[in-house]
Structure 1
Amino acid sequence: MTSPSLQDGIDRAGSPVGLLWQPGAEPWTPEVVDREFAGWRAEQRAWHEGVALLDLSHHMYDLWIEGPDATRVLAEYGANNFEKFAVGQAKQYVPVTRHGHIVTDGILAREAEHAYVLSGVPAAQHWVRYHAEREGYDVSFATDPSSAFRPGGADPTLFRYQIQGPLALELIARVLGGPVPETKFFHSTPVTLDGRPVRALRHGMAGQAGYEFIGPWEHAAYVHEAFLKAGEPFGLVRVGALAYATPSVESGWIPSPVPGIYSDPDLAAYRRWLPLFGIEGRRPLHGSYYSPDIEDYYVSPYELGYGKMIHFGHDFHGRDALLAAAGDTGLRTKVTLVLDPDDVRRVLGGGADPGFVLSYARHRVETPAGLAGVTMQSASIDPVGTVLAQALIDPAYAAPGTEVTVVWGEHPGPGTDPDADLGFPRIRGTVRPSPFDRHARTAYRRDA
């Protein structure tokens, strides 16, 4: 029996939004990793004040792309600059549709002249593979799904451990017997740990210093234990799944925007190629913002802050649309909303400490003039003392200090007016820049 496709699911549901709308959907957190080790508050403080270890080995989907046409297919379906892409470097890959909507980003690392690995949420991987196979590019693919979808409970191909925080570099030097050679941001350098090969990717989260260590799974347990043991005098804290999902709110990265693939008639064959039970058919939409039109959920890479990554010096799918949008002053602006702590306690905690809050809901952001934007991710950030929300809002309300309200609730979806006042509580918020963290906002790109 043939497995149902994404298009089959849309047809049965009546529309893309009918397929994806799931009021009250549970927020995603990394699979396999424990929810908490020292408690989410202590784990968040660790990368702000000390040193933290994060395990990324199980929730990443990896696609290896190798062959004479590897660079060509990635460049023709991605907006990035491939003229300056060194072996050992990584980039945030930005694929877009012909209308200039993002498909969902990923982390693309160049491993050799004709070899790359694309990691993260698999929507970008699906996009590249489909077009490469359909159009006959001379490339081959190998995949390693996340642990929740890996057949037979097999081990991952690679381990990935992040060491982050003000004490990260000191701990890393202790483990490796010396500092990592000077490495640019989002570049990697090969190192060894007791003779075991490891790649050290210069990385940061929420503005903190650190590296991501990547290597063959056969060495995973040894490397993990080495960091744990050496980290004891530094107060190393392991980060669980709850806290792991929160630093993107500070660093300004919006995870898993809705792929702009559901409505274009030219992509019908692509939707028939995609499985219904993949990320494109299962990542839910919900929150107080509701529209029956899936295109109202699409986003431009400019709205996500990816304008500096777009390179018009080559021809690529969606180039004309992005070129036309480059001067569009009506595009939404990415901001951080600092939610009022008293309102957070009142609405989310009934007057008490609400505990851990994590939401990928699209909540309405309003001003007295009406709808101003929509939240994309919200999370408790204990060192800040409240909930922060990443939001896309009208540029007229994007100035830091602007007061807005967030409508916190779950619209029931089809059958109810999208603009109906359903009596949901309001939480006051103040607009701040995105990224919220100053170092992430000012230095990440400078150091790249």
Structure 2
Amino acid sequence: MATPSLQNAIDKAGSAMKLLWQPNAEPWLPEVVAREYAGWRQEQAAWHEGLALLNLSHHMYDLWIEGPDATRVLADHGANNFEKFAIGQAKQYVPVTRNGHIVTDGILAREGENKYLLSGIPAAQNWVRHHAEKGGYDVGFVTDPSSAFRPGGGDPKLFRYQIQGPLAVELVERAFGGPLPETKFFHSSPVVLDGRSFRALRHGMAGQAGYEFIGPWEHAAYVHEAFCKVGEPLGLIQVGALAYATPSVESGWIPSPVPGIYTDPDLLEYREYLPLFGIEGKRPLNGSYFSEDIEDYYVSPYELGYGKMIHFGHDFVGRDALLKAKDGPLRTKVTLVLDPDDVRTLIGQGEDPGFVLTYARHRVENGSGLVGMTMQSASIDPVGTVLAQTLIDAEYTAPGTEVTVVWGEHPGSGTDPEADLGFPRIRATVQPAPFNEHARTLYRRNR
């Protein structure tokens, strides 16, 4: 029996929204690692105030792209600047449809003149591979799915450990016997630890200094143990799945925007290529904001803050649409700070609500009606409340603007999207994104 495709599932459900809408959907969490080690509050505090170790080895999907046409296929189907892309550098890859909607970003690292590694959730990987195969590009692919989807189980090809927090540099210098080579943000350098070679990617999380160490899985246990041993006197805390899912809310990165692929007739073949049991068919939508039209959930890379990454010096799919959208009316990414009293009363039923994490699209309103929607919301203990990454109409972006978040789960098709379902309203205040001032003024600028 043939594996059902995404298009098969859309046809069977009746629409993309009927396929994807799942009220009260459980939020995604990284696979394999424990939910908590020291407790999510202590783990969040660690990268703000001390030293945190995060294990990214199991939830990333990796696609190696190698061959004479590797750069060409990535440039033809991505908006980034490939004229300035050094070996050892990484970028957020920004593929868009012909209509200028993002397919979903990924982290693209250049490993050689004609070799790249594209990592993250597999939507961007699917896009590149399909177009490479369809277009006859001279490239080959090697894949390593995340641990939850690796056929037959087994270990990843790579380990990925992040060392983050104010004491990150001190741990690294102790572990390696001195400072690492000076490395630009989002560039990597080769390193050696007790005869084991791997790479150090200069990285940061929620505005804090740090590195992401990436290397062959055969060294994973040794490197992890070495970091833990050296970090113990510095108060190193391992970060579990709950806390790991939250720093994006502070650092201004919106994970997993809806791919703009579900409706364009020209992408019918692509939807038939995609399996149902993949990210495009199984990442649910939910929340108080509901529309029957999946296109209302599509987003522009400009709305996600990726405008500076778009390079019009080459031709690529979606170039004309992005040129038109550049000066058009678009929503803006902001951080909403939810009123802590309302959070306790309306989410916690009068008590501290504990850990809150949702990727729900909640309605954001002012006195005259809908003005935006949330994209991810999470408890940030050092801030003392829930923050929500939000796309909002441009006239409501000034810091301090007061809005309300409608906190509830619309049942979906069959109920008026504008119906008053009695959901509670939580007061919120607009602040910039990234919320963290260091992230907003330093490492985003350097990127």
TM-score interval w.r.t. the shorter chain?
A: over 0.9
Aligned-pair identity in percent equals 80
Mapped pair 1:422 → 2:421: yes
Mapped pair 1:331 → 2:298: no
Aligned to 1:130: 130
Aligned to 1:310: 310
Q: Counterpart amino acid of 2:416?
A: D
Aligned to 2:160: 160
Taking only aligned residues, the RMSD between alpha carbons, in angstroms, comes to: 0.5
Mapped pair 1:225 → 2:225: yes
Rounded to whole Å, the distance in 2 between the matches of 1:170 and 1:230 is 10
Rounded to whole Å, the distance in 2 between the matches of 1:336 and 1:156 is 35
Mapped pair 1:438 → 2:437: yes
Rounded to whole Å, the distance in 2 between the matches of 1:20 and 1:300 is 20
Aligned to 1:75: 75
Rounded to whole Å, the distance in 2 between the matches of 1:436 and 1:150 is 35
Rounded to whole Å, the distance in 2 between the matches of 1:345 and 1:274 is 42
Rounded to whole Å, the distance in 2 between the matches of 1:111 and 1:178 is 25
Q: 1:268-290 CA distances to partner (integer Å, 9 max, x unpaired)? A: 00000000010000000000000
Quick check: 101-110 or 434-443, which moved more? 434-443
- TM-score of the aligned structures, taking structure 1 as reference length: 0.99
Spell out the pairing of 1:158-307 with structure 2 (5 A cutoff).
Answer: 158-307=158-307
Query: Which secondary structure does the structure 2 equivalent of 1:230 belong to?
Result: helix
Mapped pair 1:352 → 2:351: yes
Aligned-residue offset at 1:153: 1.4
Rounded to whole Å, the distance in 2 between the matches of 1:315 and 1:101 is 16
Q: 1:145-179 CA distances to partner (integer Å, 9 max, x unpaired)? A: 00000111110000000000000000001001111
Q: Counterpart amino acid of 1:285?
A: L
Query: Which secondary structure does the structure 2 equivalent of 1:224 belong to?
Result: helix
Aligned to 1:100: 100
Aligned to 2:341: 342
Q: 1:189-212 CA distances to partner (integer Å, 9 max, x unpaired)? A: 000000100100000000000000
Q: Counterpart amino acid of 1:385?
A: G
Aligned to 2:408: 409
Aligned-residue offset at 1:354: 0.3
Aligned to 1:13: 13
Q: Counterpart amino acid of 2:366?
A: T
Aligned-residue offset at 1:255: 0.1
Query: Which secondary structure does the structure 2 equivalent of 1:443 belong to?
Result: helix
Rounded to whole Å, the distance in 1 between the matches of 2:430 and 2:252 is 13
Rounded to whole Å, the distance in 1 between the matches of 2:262 and 2:151 is 28
Query: Which secondary structure does the structure 2 equivalent of 1:406 belong to?
Result: strand
Rounded to whole Å, the distance in 1 between the matches of 2:19 and 2:239 is 34
Rounded to whole Å, the distance in 1 between the matches of 2:152 and 2:310 is 40
Query: Which secondary structure does the structure 1 equivalent of 2:277 belong to?
Result: coil
Mapped pair 1:47 → 2:47: yes
Aligned to 2:143: 143
Rounded to whole Å, the distance in 1 between the matches of 2:143 and 2:149 is 11
Q: 1:319-376 CA distances to partner (integer Å, 9 max, x unpaired)? A: 0000011111x20000000000000001111110100000000000000010000000
Q: 1:18-42 CA distances to partner (integer Å, 9 max, x unpaired)? A: 0000000000000100000000000
Structure 1 residue runs of 4 or more that deviate by more than 3 Å after TM superposition: none
Spell out the pairing of 1:378-393 with structure 2 (5 A cutoff).
Answer: 378-393=377-392
Aligned-residue offset at 1:108: 0.0
- TM-score of the aligned structures, taking structure 2 as reference length: 1.00
Q: Counterpart amino acid of 1:55?
A: N
Rounded to whole Å, the distance in 1 between the matches of 2:327 and 2:319 is 14
Aligned-residue offset at 1:445: 3.5
Q: Counterpart amino acid of 1:173?
A: E
Q: Counterpart amino acid of 2:42?
A: A
Q: Counterpart amino acid of 1:401?
A: G
Structure 2 residue runs of 5 or longer lacking an equivalent are: none
Q: 1:394-413 CA distances to partner (integer Å, 9 max, x unpaired)? A: 01111110000000000000
Structure 1 residue runs of 5 or longer lacking an equivalent are: none
Rounded to whole Å, the distance in 2 between the matches of 1:152 and 1:129 is 23
Aligned-residue offset at 1:74: 0.2
Q: Counterpart amino acid of 2:402?
A: E
Query: Which secondary structure does the structure 2 equivalent of 1:209 belong to?
Result: strand
Aligned-residue offset at 1:446: 3.0
Aligned to 2:394: 395
Aligned-residue offset at 1:126: 0.1
Rounded to whole Å, the distance in 1 between the matches of 2:321 and 2:376 is 27
